[in-house]
């Protein structure tokens, strides 16, 4: 019986969710500034892939900041 090759399904990326930087963190602020540039369609740096990478980096950095923050 011959094998039928199927075309891969088309994938559509959603708009990246706005990042939540750690308050007062300069690294998070710089990453958010980059995120704004790559999510602006008119920007030469526009890249949804890069936007998702930056959101993940901000989440990771925020988790590190929260873990090292003093308990309230």
Q: The pTM is what?
A: 0.69
Cβ pair 39, 16 in contact under 8 A: yes
Which range marks the domain in which residue 31 is found? 26-68
**CA distance to 10, 28, 30, 48, 65, per residue, from 37 (Å):** 26, 14, 11, 11, 24
Which pLDDT value is given to residue 11? Answer: 72
In-domain check, residue 55: yes
Cα gap 64→32, rounded to integer Å: 16
pLDDT tens digits, residue range 18-41? Answer: 888 888 889 999 999 999 999 999
In-domain check, residue 45: yes
In-domain check, residue 41: yes
Q: How many domains is the chain partitioned into structurally? A: 1
In-domain check, residue 8: no
């Amino acid at each position: 019986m011959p094998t039928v090759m199927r075309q891969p399904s088309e994938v559509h990326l959603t708009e990246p969710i706005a990042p939540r930087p750690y308050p007062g963190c300069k690294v998070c602020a710089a990453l958010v500034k980059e995120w704004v540039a790559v999510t602006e369609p008119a920007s030469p740096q526009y890249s949804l892939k890069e936007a998702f990478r930056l959101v993940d980096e901000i989440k990771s950095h925020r988790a590190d900041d929260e873990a090292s923050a003093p308990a309230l």
